[in-house]
Amino acid sequence: MGRSSPVAAILLTACALACGGEPASTGSRQRLRIAVIPKATSHEFWQSVQAGALKGGHDADVEVLWKGPAREDDRDEQIKVVEGFLSRGIDAIVIAPLDKTALIAPLRDAKAEGIPVVIIDSGIEWEGYDSFAATNNRLGGQLAAMTLGEVLGGSGKVLMMRYLEGSASTTNREEGFLETLMRDFPDIEIVSSDQYGGATVESCQRTAEDLLNRYTEIDGIFVPNESSTVAFLNALASLDRPSHTRLVGFDASEPLVDGLRSGAIYALIVQNPMAMGEIGVETAAALLRGESVEKLIDTGVQVVTASNMDEPAIHDLLSPPLSDWLP
C-alpha cells in the first residue's frame, strides 16, 4: 500500500477527532498524538481553544485528539477522560483542569509514564507539569475592577457573582477584582461577592435574578466567565433593569459581542483562547521533540469596549477564524 496523501491524512484526522475514535495512521508510522482535554465542550470559549489546538497540531505536524466533559463541574468525567487517553498510549497531554486539586492524581500518573503534561487556561496545585499556558487571570480581574471603578466615577453599589468553586482561573479573576476595587475605589460599596452561579448558564441566571431581586439599586456588576456573563445579560433584560447598570463580563461569544455593541454590556475582559489551544499543543510537541519550553506562558488579556471593539486586533479576538480549523 502506498503512502496516504496529505489531504487523506487530514480527513482521517478530522474523523478521529469528530467521532472520538482512535487516531489515524499516516503511512507506515503513526504521528505523535497529543490529547487535548478541555474543562467542557459546550461553551464557545472551548470551541476557540479546540480550533487553536487543531491549528497548532497542523503547524507542529502532530495529531490532536480532543475530548472533554460536557459540563465544567463534572470532575469525575474529566478524570475518566485522562485515564482513557492514558490507556490508549497517547504521547502528551494538554489539559485545562476544571478543578485545581482533583486532577492531580491522574496527571501525576501520566508523568510517571513519561508523558509530558501541559496545563492551559486554569491552574493546578501541583508543580509536576511541564508548562502552563494561560491568561494572567488575576490581572484580568484587576482590569475589570479598574474599568468598572472608573466608569462609575469611584462611587456606587457593585455586586460580583462568582462562577464555580474549585475553578482556579475564575477564582483568581474574582480575587483580583475584589482586591483592586477595595484598594483603589474605597467609596464603592460591594453589596455581594460570595454567591456562586454554577457550571451552566441556567444555574447562573437563576442566581443572577435572585441577586438582582435582592439588590434593586445596583450601579455595577462583574462576572468572571462566558456563561455567567450571558446569564447576567439575560437576567438584566428579563427583569427590565435600568440601563445605567454597568455590566463588565469576561470572555467573548456571539451574544456577548452583540451585547457589547448594543450597550447592554459596558466592557468585556477578553482572553485569547485560540492562542491558548495553539500554544498548548505546540509546547507539547516541542517537549516531545526534546526542546526546552517556558514553564509559564502568558497568552494575554484585553479590555474591550464599544470604542475599541472594531479595531483589527480586537476584532480578531472577538471573532476568531473558527471555521478554518473546526471539523
User: Cα(66)–Cα(262) distance, rounded to whole angstroms?
Assistant: 35
Does domain 137-270 fall under CATH 3.40.50.2300? My reply is yes
**In whole numbers, what is the pLDDT of the chain averaged over residues?**
91
- DSSP codes, 126-174: -S--SEEEE--HHHHHHHHHHHHHHHTTT-EEEEE-B--TT-HHHHHHH
pLDDT in tens, 215-227: 999 999 999 999 9
- What is the pLDDT averaged over residues 79-99? 97
Check pLDDT > 60 for residue 244: yes
**242 band by pLDDT with thresholds 50, 70 and 90:** low
Domain 6-135+272-300 in this protein, CATH class:
alpha beta
User: Cα(106)–Cα(80) distance, rounded to whole angstroms?
Assistant: 9
- What single-letter amino acid sits at 110? A
Residues composing the chain: 327
- What is the pLDDT averaged over residues 252-267? 96
pLDDT in tens, 162-205: 999 999 999 999 999 999 999 999 999 999 999 999 999 999 99
The distance of Cα 84 from the centroid of its chain, to the nearest Å, equals 23
- Which region among 5-19, 101-115, 235-249 has the lowest average model confidence (pLDDT)? 5-19
Check pLDDT > 50 for residue 89: yes
Q: Tell me what pLDDT residue 30 has.
A: 75
Q: Tell me what pLDDT residue 232 has.
A: 96
pLDDT in tens, 12-56: 343 344 334 444 333 334 789 999 999 999 888 999 999 999 999
Check pLDDT > 90 for residue 301: yes
pTM for this model (two decimals):
0.87
**What is the edge-to-edge ordering of all strands in the sheet holding 267-270?**
188-192, 156-160, 220-222, 246-250, 267-270, 302-305
User: Cα(145)–Cα(174) distance, rounded to whole angstroms?
Assistant: 10
pLDDT in tens, 106-135: 999 999 999 999 999 999 999 999 999 999
CATH 3.40.50.2300 maps onto the chain at 6-135+272-300, 137-270
